[in-house]
Chain A
Amino acid sequence: GQNIDQPTEMTATEGAIVQINCTYQTSGFNGLFWYQQHAGEAPTFLSYNVLDGLEEKGRFSSFLSRSKGYSYLLLKELQMKDSASYLCAGTDSNYQLIWGAGTKLIIKP
């Protein structure tokens, strides 16, 4: 079956670094997305990885290892506004998105 696993909740301190992991099992693989969703708001696109390696975008970076079926989202210099849920989604052979349940990130002062 197809499955995306990510931790349910994480807590970090303002100004610190946090890494949110995601493992995936999909029938075929055509890339992995990360989305951010603040409470009561729409999910918004953060990153897309299809090749192995690290993609850096300001304070946020996303990593992919296709051989390990693994990705992570790295958030640096955490700010209170980064408190949100982070959704991992893999793309299968039919280009359909398979979603994880999301990781709720709590930032403490």
Chain B
Amino acid sequence: ETGVTQTPRHLVMGMTNKKSLKCEQHLGHNAMYWYKQSAKKPLELMFVYNFKEQTENNSVPSRFSPECPNSSHLFLHLHTLQPEDSALYLCASSQAGLAESSYNEQFFGPGTRLTVL
């Protein structure tokens, strides 16, 4: 049990669909993250939220739209995706946000395996 849950675990969508990924953390953390994990590539940080405020957007295409209604929930809204967006999308949380602490252990959810047809 990592304390971070993600739904759905698997998602297949067409390029014209709109879908959302959900992440919830039960750890009382203040920061939440979205990562993209592709085979044999490093984790790519997409977005960071600290106390519900977005603090990082690593040049992510606008077809990915994050939403953080409170410090426990994080969404990733998807629309008009491309086949190259197929990957594992991981959510993580940490007690402190970036630039606050050198010890910034991140707790990960199990991920959503996304396939874009």
Give A residues with C-beta under 8 Å from B.
4, 8, 30-31, 33, 35, 40-45, 48, 50, 87, 89, 91, 94-102
Number of A-B contacts (CB under 8 A): 56
Within B58-117, the residues touching A (CB, 8 Å) are 90, 98-111, 113
Across the interface, A99 reaches (CB within 8 A) one of B2, B42, B102, B105, namely B42
Find out whether the CB atom of B106 lies under 8 angstroms from the CB atom of A42: no
Contacts of B101 in A (CB 8 A): 95
Contacts of B105 in A (CB 8 A): 33, 45, 48
Find out whether the CB atom of B98 lies under 8 angstroms from the CB atom of A95: yes
Across the interface, B104 reaches (CB within 8 A) one of A95, A98, A101, A102, namely A95
Give B residues with C-beta under 8 Å from A.
2, 4, 40-43, 45, 56, 90, 98-111, 113
CB distance from A84 to the nearest CB of B (A): 13
Contacts of B102 in A (CB 8 A): 30-31, 50, 91, 95
- Measured CB to CB, the nearest residue on chain A to B40 is A101
Find out whether the CB atom of A8 lies under 8 angstroms from the CB atom of B45: no
Contacts of A40 in B (CB 8 A): 110, 113
Across the interface, A97 reaches (CB within 8 A) one of B40, B41, B45, B90, namely B45
- Measured CB to CB, the nearest residue on chain B to A89 is B43
CB distance from B102 to the nearest CB of A (A): 4
CB distance from A82 to the nearest CB of B (A): 19
CA of A98 to CA of B98 in the docked complex: distance in angstroms? 12
Find out whether the CB atom of B40 lies under 8 angstroms from the CB atom of A8: yes
Find out whether the CB atom of A87 lies under 8 angstroms from the CB atom of B104: no
Find out whether the CB atom of B103 lies under 8 angstroms from the CB atom of A48: yes
Contacts of B110 in A (CB 8 A): 40-42
9 sampled A-B residue pairs with Cβ under 8 A = A42-B110, A45-B106, A48-B103, A95-B100, A95-B104, A97-B43, A97-B106, A100-B42, A101-B41
CB distance from A99 to the nearest CB of B (A): 4
